[in-house]
Chains A and B, each alone.
Chain A
Amino acid sequence: MTIQNKPAANKNLNSIRKTIANHKRYDFIFASLGTLVIASLTITLLILFLDLVIDGYPRFNLDFFSNFPSRRAARAGILSAWIGSSLVLLVTFIVAVPLGITSGVYLEEYAKKNWFSDLIEINVSNLAGVPSIIYGLLALGLFVYSFGLGQSILTAGLTLALLMLPIVIVSTREAIRAIPVHIREAAYAVGATKWQVCHNHVIPYSYGGILTGVIIGMARAIGETAPIITIGALTFIAFLPPSPIGLEPPFLNFEWLDSGFTVLPIQMFNWISRPQHAFHVNAAATGAVIIMLTLLMNGFAIKLRYNIRKKIKW
């Protein structure tokens, strides 16, 4: 029994509590700073968005979505722009996603690690940060002039796919690296080949991370204006591309790929550069539509990712 030690222990306890309180102050300071920064960013964004919505409010009706652009601001709509955006994004998605995922898998699982793979890695990471206008110039030279694809939906889709590709590759590689070594070894240990490991394990387990990259890429692509202007997209389009889906067999046609087009941000840019205030209202409404589309895509991605991750635990 060490009764006589008790007061000493008590004193000790007090000093321990004091030390803990002191250290916890840093937790508090960091948490408050974090909250402040997040809140100011969110609020700024929210104000911008609300401003757009309020400015564009008079134009939020069905006509706005089903009318072509017009000289009369009140009758002008974004039909050709949102259809153009959708079709361009469709091409982007179909090209960039499979190519990006397979590139990521190849680089991570198959490529030998040497100076060459390092070079590719540095390049891919850099490409993700290259200004989009550079992609526009590349596309103008390569797709429009060299390949003769013209100023078409196909060209725009391919251009945005180039832009999106590094994002998808980088996020695929990150997701693959997050798979624990012991899961991979378990698959190899039962006698799986590299392809079986990739196909049955590596790719399915990385869907969550890949999806995030795809959505970030798509969200970037939907708002890109510079490269699309560079390849010569039209700003005033009063017709629709041929429908991709037909009523008669083979139900799909590909003429739309060759069609001229405009996209939402270009339509917005066009309207904002007009002097009349009425067109500025249209521009604000278009901006609000773009932001809402982005939010919708992100929300969908988060939900999907949540569902996927619920099933995966190491």
Chain B
Amino acid sequence: MVKKITTNKISHDEIIKAESKNLNFFYADGTQALNNVSLPVYENKITALIGPSGCGKSTFLRCFNRMHDLYPGNRYDGQIILQPDNTNILSDGVDPIEVRMRISMVFQKPNPFPKSIYENVAYGLRVRGESNKRSLDEKVEEALKGASLWNEVKDRLQDLAFNLSGGQQQRLCIARALATEPEIMLFDEPTSALDPIATMNIEELMSELKQKLSILIVTHNMQQAARISDYTAYMYLGKLVEFDATNQIFTNPSKKETEDYITGKFG
């Protein structure tokens, strides 16, 4: 019997796409939501963040596209280094808009704009100044194909996006995030509002997407993390408890807390 054992050491042929270094985060009211989190995101891999509610995993995710900058008083401390250009995307000198142009995000609740399907996907391109009709058409089609939504909507691109089902809306949001060819895609519990079939579609889609980009996903669903991710990080109370290859975390976690959480004794 061949038993595949991953060692505790992460193999060194992985390429780091981004890496948080001693990241602390404070909300405007002074609460510290992240405490010294250092975590790599590998290229063309899916990294899952798991942990009980309020452990800071969404807060951590939203640091990667500087979403916290939208609300006054929030403060970052530490670094997130984006490769290959070695940019600290949390630095004051880096425009959050530039960061968002490189790292796109899919939210918990499908949030299409109240515009047409076409306009939803094209919006990221329009924001970048793309106005050539033919080029827009091509990129919209490509993004919708990438989000495996093209066949369902190709005949009604001018329909309003909220006429789609919840699962279709979420794939539309993925297409919107995909159209701008991001380097990293962030998913904040993308399937928590969806039924099992739509969830399965999105999970399959993520596994395809990682050929092209790197994925960081927050999920409440441990089975989901086990199914799709290559690496898993377990967070608790704003701290990173354990980070390792997914099958290592789920079969042989090195920390007691991780094991308790995964086996359902805690959380």
Using a CB–CB distance below 8 Å, which chain A residues touch chain B? 112-113, 180, 182-193, 196, 200-201, 205, 311-314
Contacts and interface: CB of A to CB of B under 8 A. Distances in A.
Nearest to B124: A190
B113 A183 contact: yes
Given A183-B113, A196-B127, A190 B176 contact: yes
Interface string B55-71: 00000000001010010
Given A190-B127, A311-B160, A185 B101 contact: no
A186 B114 contact: no
Contacts of B177: 189-190
A312 B100 contact: no
B10 interface: no
A193 B70 contact: no
Contacts of A201: 113
A191 B160 contact: no
B49 interface: no
B128 A191 contact: yes
Given A113-B72, A190-B176, A191-B128, A200 B123 contact: yes
B111 interface: yes
A65 to B, nearest CB: 42
Nearest to A183: B111
Interface string B143-169: 000000000000000001010000000
B140 interface: no
Nearest to B106: A189
Contacts of A183: 111, 113-114
Contacts of B72: 112-113
Contacts of A312: 114
22 contacts: A186-B107, A186-B111, A187-B123, A188-B100, A189-B65, A189-B100, A189-B107, A190-B104, A190-B123, A190-B124, A191-B97, A191-B100, A191-B124, A191-B127, A191-B180, A192-B123, A193-B127, A201-B113, A311-B114, A311-B160, A314-B114, A314-B162
Contact of B67 (A113, A180, A185, A200): A185
A196 B124 CA distance: 11
A106 to B, nearest CB: 16
Contacts of A188: 67, 70, 100
B90 interface: no
